[in-house]
Amino acid sequence: MKQVFCRPKSMTKNIFHYCAGCGHSIVHRLIAEVIDELGIRGIAIGVPPAGCAVLAYNYLDIDMIEAQHGRGPATATGVKRVLPDRVVFSYQGDGDLAAIGTAESFHAANRGENITVIFINNAVYGMTGGQMAPTSILGQRTTTSPAGRAALLDGHPVRVSEIFSQLPGTAYIERCMVNSPAAILKTRKAIRKAFQCQIDGRGFSLVEILSPCPTNWKMTPIDSCRWIDEVMCKEFPLGVMKDVPAVEQNEGG
C-alpha cells in the first residue's frame, strides 16, 4: 500500500498545544505542506505572533523569528529587506493584526512590502480567555461582551481584507476558511498562491482565514465549524478580494 497522506516534512514531531478542533493547527499544516510543495524549506522564514500561535516555532521546522506583539509585519519587513532572496511570512491572529498591530500591518501593506501575511480570524481573543476582538461579530457573546457585542458600545467588526484591498501596495488578498475538507483545500491553494506571489516579487499578499475556536466560542468543534458557515461567513464574505497581475504591478511602479 502506498502512503497518500502523512505529516509534512516541514513539521516537527511535537504534539500541538492547541485545543481540540482548533483551526491554528490545520493552518500550520497547510503552511508546511505549501513550503514542501514549493521546495522553499531552506529559504522560508516565519514570524509567529503573540497569541495562541506564539509557539508556532515549535511545530514548523523552518527558520522562525519571534516578533513583539503585533509587530510581525515590521519584523518581516526587516528580514525581507536584509535577505530579499528569502520567502518571509508573518502569521498573525486577529488580536495581533487587527488590534495592537494595526499600524504596523496597515503600513507594511501600504508600502507594498514583498511579504506574506497569514491572518487567522477567529472573532475572539483566544489565548487570554475569550475576550471580544475587533473582529467579533455583532451580538457575539464573549467574556467582555456578555450581553453580545453592540454596535453603539463596541463598534462594528473590522473587515481587514476589505480594508487592505483598498491599499495600492497590496497584490493579493483572499479570505477563506478551514471548517471543512473542501474549504481546507481551498485555503491551501490560497496560501500557495500568496507564497508564489511573493516569490514572483509582486508585493504584499494576505490570506485571511476564518478559523474555529471551540473553547472560547463555547461550542463543540463540529458546532463551531457550522457557526463559521452560518454566521461568520455572512459578516466576512469569502473570496479573492484582490489579485493584481504581475504585469500591471510592474507598470504601476
**Nearest residue (CB) to another protein, 29 versus 202:** 29
Residue range at the interface with another protein (CB under 8 A); choices 7-15, 46-54, 115-123, 160-168: 7-15
Give yes or no for a contact between 47 and 89, defined as CB atoms under 8 angstroms apart.
Answer: yes
Closest by CA position to 99, among listed 127, 79, 140, 65 = 127
Q: Which of 52, 62, 214, 238 binds another protein (CB under 8 A)?
A: 214
- Interface characters, 148-187, with another protein (x: CB under 8 A): --------------------------------xx--xx--
Residue range at the interface with another protein (CB under 8 A); choices 3-11, 44-52, 86-94, 189-197: 3-11
Residue carrying the nine cell digits 482565514: 209
- As beta bridge partners, residue 175 has 208, 239
Closest by CA position to 207, among listed 183, 231, 234 = 183
Q: Which of 4, 82, 152, 247 binds another protein (CB under 8 A)?
A: 4
Q: Which of 9, 10, 26, 83 binds another protein (CB under 8 A)?
A: 26
What does the alpha-carbon distance between residue 240 and residue 208 come to, in Å, rounded to a whole number?
10
- Cα separations (Å) of 5 from 2, 180, 204, 233, 237? 9, 17, 31, 29, 31
Binding site for another protein (CB under 8 A): 1-7, 11, 15-16, 18-26, 29, 180-181, 184-185, 214, 220-222, 225
